[in-house]
Amino acid sequence: MADSLIYPLSTYRLSLPEGMEVVVVQFDPAYAKRFADLNYYWIAETYGIEPHDREILDHPFDHVIAPGGQIFFARVGEDVAGTVAMVPYGDDGFELTKMAVDPEFRGHGIGARLMQACIDFTIDRSRRRIILESNTKQVAAVELYRKFAFKEVPLDPNSQYVRANIRMELVVS
């Protein structure tokens, strides 16, 4: 497991009130089911599953890792508390997609740690921007994106998500 750490652990450790620590790691096939489960849970509960959701969640290696992307997992002890995927987008960016934090672990900065891992990944790959599509019903998520300086941009008329009503971009370099 040590080989899947992105940076020294101290870079991504966060003390939780209960005395737990968050460690962000890169894709491990052992976590693929948890990636799907966390996302299926919130998407189905809020909107309903769309075909593109199934493509990414059922085949993360083919649709995220193989094309040059990454999936990050926030571990708290042995639990996977959150996840996010970065899919190559054009020649100069990544699409941030499928961010989910287990309801049990929300409110402890896990989303922020995952976001920082995504930004660092983008910079390390010499890409200049991160784009994402979301829905304004996801108030906490949209607030997180704004906290990290994402700006609203026009919707993509070719979006693969019916539920998307906001599109945001962060230029990192």
The reply to whether 142 falls in a domain is: no
The reply to whether 140 falls in a domain is: no
pLDDT in tens, 58-76: 999 999 999 999 999 999 9
At residue 3, the pLDDT reads 37
Residues 160 and 98: their CA atoms lie apart, in Å, by: 13
In this prediction, the residues of the chain whose per-residue pLDDT falls under 70 are 1-19
At residue 18, the pLDDT reads 58
pLDDT in tens, 94-123: 999 999 999 999 888 999 999 999 999 999
Phi-psi category of residue 90: left, alpha or beta, with phi > 0 → left and psi -120 to 50 → alpha: left
Q: Domain of residue 62: give its range.
A: 2-127
User: Element (H or E) spanning 84, and its range?
Assistant: strand 79-89
At residue 5, the pLDDT reads 37
Q: Please report the DSSP string for 116-135 in residue order.
A: HHHHHHHHHTT--EEEEEE-
Read off the pTM: 0.88
- What CATH number is associated with residue 13? 3.40.630.30
Looking at the DSSP assignment, which residues form a beta bridge with residue 86?
Answer: 70, 96
Per the structure, the count of domains in the chain is 1
